[in-house]
Amino acid sequence: MPRTVDHDERRAQLADALARVAARDGLHAVSMRAVAAEAGTSLRLVQYYFENKRQLLIGAMRQLEERSNARWQARLARATDPRARLRAFIAEALPTDSDSIDFYRVSAAFGEMATTDPELAAEPLAGGIARLRSAVLEAFRAADLAPDAVPEHETDALISLCNGLSTAVLIGHHTADAAIAIAEYHIDRAFG
């Protein structure tokens, strides 16, 4: 009986392999061949799913973004008020565990490549970024904020702060706990 191949699962395995190579050796070491070796499969199989390194990175970014969103949605389901929803965002946005570290490493490299490639910049994260901003903005709008707090500005500031803190955590300038405390300080100031 022929074996049925789950193409989504295979793509997920390759995305995981890319994340492991990037985490261990840096994104500069990611190649189609390195991902194939890490996944324990052939280069031809990687090429079957992804035409080139750019497409492989896009595919991995999509997989990692979907997983990050699923983790965040699970946290949001347990959040009972606007402040808890914002803390759920912080918990997922900052690299505090292996999944979020993998996501941030790959997304940082993806962002770097996208600075010189407008098509790449419009690719997999555009919908995720809009969804993320919308949810954070909704939480700020539902909150009892300080009189001078503007929900749109607080949203953009928190997202930007978490992006910068993520880099600081990965390069060792802040611990994950310190980054969480800084982001929560921003939320506390917005609430007044």
Question: In this predicted model, what pLDDT tens digit does every residue of 62-114 receive, in sequence order?
Answer: 888 888 889 988 998 999 999 999 999 999 899 999 888 888 888 887 788 78
* Spatial separation of the C-alpha atoms in residues 188 and 185, rounded to whole Å: 5
∠ at Cα 27 (100, 130), nearest 5°? 50
- Give me the pLDDT at residue 104, please: 86
User: Hunting for tokens 């490639």 — which residue is that?
Assistant: 117
Q: Using CA of residue 190, residue 84, residue 130, residue 181, what is the dihedral sign?
A: positive
Question: Which pLDDT score, from 0 to 100, does residue 10 have?
Answer: 92
> What are 29-35's contacts with CB under 8 Å, separation 24+?
30/56, 30/57, 32/56
Specify the amino acid at residue 137: L
Q: Are 62 and 124 in contact (CB under 8 A)?
A: yes
Determine the Cα angle at 29 with ends 21 and 40, to 5°.
45
What whole-number distance in Å separates Cα of residue 54 and Cα of residue 155? 31
CA angle 118, 23, 66 (to 5 degrees): 55
- Are 104 and 92 in contact by the 8 Å Cβ rule? The answer is no
Q: Give the model's pLDDT for residue 23.
A: 79
Name the one residue in this structure whose structure tokens are 């890490």: 38
Contact 190, 145 (CB under 8 A): yes
| pLDDT given at position 32 | 96
Phi-psi region of 172 (alpha: psi -120 to 50; beta: other; left: phi over 0): left
pTM for the full predicted model: 0.83
User: What is the model's pLDDT at position 87?
Assistant: 95
On the CB side of 141, CA atoms within 13 Å amount to 8
Point out the residues of the chain with pLDDT beneath 70.
1-3, 123-127
